[in-house]
């Protein structure tokens, strides 16, 4: 559900709508004569005005809402990616179980306990793998890319196309076998860390080209 459309009774019509349209912020600027010194028209006096009205919500209604969610049409990753995730989790589980069974060899009393804990943990991870894969979703909006991940710890990131410095594709052995690829997005901020796994190979080239061209037309820069 898009929150832009939510009625915000306190916000007056004078308040500019969410500047979804490009150059929306430019609109209120007065037309200027070219002979004006730039400093005169580039700095229109901005009245001190905080858009607090937008964020005053009904506390009762808000309290009911528990899960973080952003509206729009989210796209999921390929179902085949579940296999990659399962294999990855399986390998990790095997390594963990092997490590946890070391105390058993030495006949330590807690050996069975650790082993049981690790086995249960691995089982849980394998069981929720489908759910985890389903939670990886993305959305290509007009001007930015949304990415979300996580069940317990939800994370939603918005990256404007114009901020993308480079986009690369990565394919591991399992990805290749299943015809999948991973798209990594790099911005000037190291912490952005958006990578979409499990995109079908045939889509990935197209998606990457679309994103690169979007990044180019939108505004290459910081």
Partner 1 sequence: MSIPDQPGADQPMAEQPPLQQPAAAQPGAAGLTPAPVSADSDDGWKRLHPASPLLKGGIAFLAIIGILIANMRDMLIELVFDTGDGDGDFITFLLESEMLGWGLAILAALLMVGILGFYLSWRMHRYRITDESVEVRSGIIFRTHRQARLDRIQAVAVTRPFLARIFGAGKLEVAVAGQDAKVALSYLRVAELDTLRAHILRLASASRHGGRDAVAGIGQQVAPANGIAPGAPGFLPHAENAPSAIVQQRVNDFFGPELDPDLAPPESVVKISPLRIILSLLISNTTILFFLAAIAMILLAIFGEPQWLFGAIPMVIGVIGFFWSKLQKSLRFSIAGTPDGVRIGFGLLSTENDTLPAGRIHAIEVHQPLLWRPLGWWTVRINRAGYGTSADGKQPATTMLPVGTIDEVEKVLELLLPEGTGSEVNALTTQLLTKRDVPGFVATPKRAWFLHPFTWRRHGFAETNGAVLFRAGVVWRRVQIIPFARLQSIRVTQGPLARAFSVSNFSIQTILGLITPTVEAVDTATAERAFDRWSAKAIAAADDEDARAAESARSQSAGMGRADAVAAVGYGSAGSAEAAAAMLSRPMI
Element (H, E) at 121: helix 111-135
Q: Least CB distance from residue 58 to partner 1, whole Å?
A: 9
Q: Least CB distance from residue 134 to partner 1, whole Å?
A: 17
Looking at beta carbons only, is 60 or 109 nearer to partner 1?
A: 60
Looking at beta carbons only, is 115 or 214 nearer to partner 1?
A: 214
Report which DSSP code applies to 87: H
Q: Least CB distance from residue 29 to partner 1, whole Å?
A: 9
CB 218 within 8 A of CB 161: yes
Looking at beta carbons only, is 51 or 206 nearer to partner 1?
A: 51
Looking at beta carbons only, is 54 or 87 nearer to partner 1?
A: 54
Q: Least CB distance from residue 114 to partner 1, whole Å?
A: 25
Looking at beta carbons only, is 99 or 220 nearer to partner 1?
A: 220
Q: Least CB distance from residue 126 to partner 1, whole Å?
A: 21
Task: For residues 211 and 205, give the distance between their C-alpha atoms in angstroms, rounded to a whole number.
Answer: 10
Long-range contacts from 16-23, C-beta under 8 angstroms, 24+ separation: 20/142, 20/143, 22/143
Q: How many angstroms separate the Cα of 91 from the Cα of each of 96, 113, 124, 131? A: 9, 21, 14, 19
Pairing of strands 180-187, 164-170: antiparallel
């Amino acid at each position: 559900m898009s929150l832009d459309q939510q009625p915000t009774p306190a916000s007056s019509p004078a308040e500019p709508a969410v500047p979804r349209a490009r150059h929306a912020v430019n609109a209120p600027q007065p037309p200027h004569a070219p002979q004006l010194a730039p400093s005169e028209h580039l700095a229109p006096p901005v009245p001190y005005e905080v858009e607090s009205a937008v964020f005053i919500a009904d506390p009762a209604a808000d309290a009911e809402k528990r899960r973080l969610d952003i509206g729009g049409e989210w796209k999921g990753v390929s179902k085949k990616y579940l296999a990659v995730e399962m294999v990855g989790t399986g390998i990790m589980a095997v390594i963990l179980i092997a490590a946890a069974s070391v105390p058993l060899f030495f006949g330590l009393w807690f050996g069975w306990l650790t082993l049981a804990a690790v086995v249960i943990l691995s089982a849980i991870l394998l069981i929720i793998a489908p759910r985890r894969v389903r939670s990886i979703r993305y959305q290509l909006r007009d001007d930015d890319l949304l990415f979300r991940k996580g069940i317990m710890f939800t994370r939603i990131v918005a990256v404007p196309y114009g901020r993308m410095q480079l986009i690369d594709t990565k394919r591991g052995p399992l990805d290749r076998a299943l015809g999948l690829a991973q798209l990594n997005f790099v911005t000037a901020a190291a912490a952005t860390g958006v990578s979409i796994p499990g995109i079908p190979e045939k889509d990935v080239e197209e998606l990457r080209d679309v994103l690169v061209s979007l990044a180019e037309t939108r505004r290459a820069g910081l």
